Amino acid sequence: MSQHSPRRSRLTGVVVAAATALALTAVPAAQAETTGAGHHSHRHHAPKPTIVLVHGAFADASGWSAEVIDLQARGYDVIAPPVPLRGLTYDADYVRSVLATIPGPVILVGHSYGGAVITNAARGAANVEALVYVGAFVPDVGQSIVTSYDPARYPGSLLGPDSTMVRPTYNPAAPGGQDVDVYIKPTMFRQVFAGDQTRAIAQEMAATQRPLSYFAQTEPSGEPAWKTLPSWDLVTLDDHAISAGGQKFMARRAGAHVTKIHSAHDVMVSHPDDVVALILKAAHAVA
């Protein structure tokens, strides 16, 4: 079909009109949140923040299901967007576009690679009040997730050539579109990612894992939002995807409020109550 066909033109017009209408209705509400002497001057009248849950690699948004149910029962609006996992800038821009549709304050939560995404997505997003890292990468400027800490100094991760496999893929975010998708080998998934799950559940998680592109692993971070926003970090002490020592190092560097838990990497699945407790700490601290 031609790019300039009448049918496509009509469709484009409908999409643009819908987006414009959404913007016209959302902007006044967002402005109402920040009108007055300062951003926090009338917070006692402000609604509860929206909780935005950003998944990482080898998982999807369904991993947050228990947290979503708990937070909604407490009266919070929750969004768990599907992260493309194509490139750090690409993914952060996507999440930032979601944040732009939310009137009022946001607590931005990231697991694993999702920590690198929120580090960049919150930059320039005025409604983000706090960052919550959950067994996550917390890179500094110029660092990719694979260089965000020194694995020789902080060993314990089993992610690497022996535990992963690749499949060639087209990636619109990568230079020239040429890339490979990285998966955890099904035989290693429980040991690396889902150590707190039964073998049967870990096998199901391995079969449905969403791969991370190699480009996303190696693309460097921009200026991190944790330099200007308060942050909280749940360090997973039994983690074999991101070492506990590496997590502690990154959390200290970010000046985060640290909570530690004996958990494998899939902490959002195996210990949702602890994840919710940390999110609530952040929400209450900035209220």
The predicted-structure confidence for 264-280, as pLDDT tens digits, reads as follows 999 999 999 999 999 99
In 3D space, the residue among 169, 44, 63 whose CA is nearest the CA of residue 105 turns out to be 44
In 3D space, the residue among 56, 86, 88, 57 whose CA is nearest the CA of residue 220 turns out to be 88
> Which two structure tokens, joined as six digits, stand for 39?
């951003």
Q: Which residue has the higher pLDDT, 30 or 134?
A: 134
Give the count of beta carbons closer than 10 Å to the beta carbon of residue 69. Answer: 13
pLDDT at 84 over 80: yes
Edge-to-edge order in the sheet of strand 257-261 = 78-79, 50-54, 106-112, 128-136, 231-236, 257-261
Spatial distance between the Cα atoms of 236 and 156, rounded to a whole number of angstroms: 12
pLDDT at 23 over 50: no
Give the count of beta carbons closer than 10 Å to the beta carbon of residue 1. Answer: 6
Predicted structure pTM score: 0.85
Task: Report the SS3 class of residue 179.
Answer: strand
Whole-number pLDDT of residue 17: 38
Kindly report which listed range (25-29, 258-262, 283-287) carries the lowest average pLDDT score.
25-29
Mean pLDDT over each residue of the chain, to the nearest integer:
88
Q: Which residue has the higher pLDDT, 27 or 193?
A: 193
Whole-number pLDDT of residue 123: 97
How deeply is 71 buried, as exposed, middle or buried, from its count of CB atoms within 10 A (0-12, 13-18, 19+)? buried
In 3D space, the residue among 234, 247, 250, 229 whose CA is nearest the CA of residue 123 turns out to be 229
In eight-state DSSP terms, residue 111 is E
- Banded pLDDT at 45 (limits 50, 70, 90): low
* Domain range 46-287, CATH class: alpha beta
Q: What does 196-235 look like in DSSP terms, one character per residue?
A: TS-HHHHHHHHHTPPPEEHHHHHSPP-S-GGGTS-EEEEE
- Write down the domain spans for the chain: 46-287
Whole-number pLDDT of residue 106: 98
Spatial distance between the Cα atoms of 46 and 287, rounded to a whole number of angstroms: 8
Whole-number pLDDT of residue 15: 36
What percent of the chain is predicted at pLDDT more than 70? 84
Whole-number pLDDT of residue 46: 63
- Banded pLDDT at 7 (limits 50, 70, 90): very low
- Banded pLDDT at 24 (limits 50, 70, 90): very low
Question: Is residue 180 within 8 Å of 169, Cβ to Cβ?
Answer: yes
Whole-number pLDDT of residue 82: 98
pLDDT, average across residues 97-120: 98
Whole-number pLDDT of residue 39: 39
